[in-house]
Amino acid sequence: MPVWSVRSERCKGCRLCVEFCPRHCLEISNELNAIGYYPARMHDAGKCTSCALCADMCPEAGIIVVRRKRKKKT
């Protein structure tokens, strides 16, 4: 399963990652962060394919996506 993480203390809740996630596995949290925004969070990690389109659109450069290496074709 891929590891997805956002730096919640940096997130300004602009919703771009939520909008552009093709698998709809992100959502806006209902808890405020320290700078007064509702940050994004993963709500369905099972559907995440680690395509990293959320990170492509994140204006805060705060999303990290790590995945298990694909096995090389031999």
34/7 Cα distance (integer angstroms): 12
Which chain residues interact with another protein by CB under 8 A? 3, 5, 10, 12-16, 19-20, 37, 50, 52-69
Q: How far is the CB of 10 from another protein (least distance, A)?
A: 5
Taking the CA atoms of the chain, what radius of gyration do you get in angstroms?
Answer: 13
Residue entry with tokens 């925004």: 37
Q: How far is the CB of 25 from another protein (least distance, A)?
A: 15
Tokens of 23: 């698998």
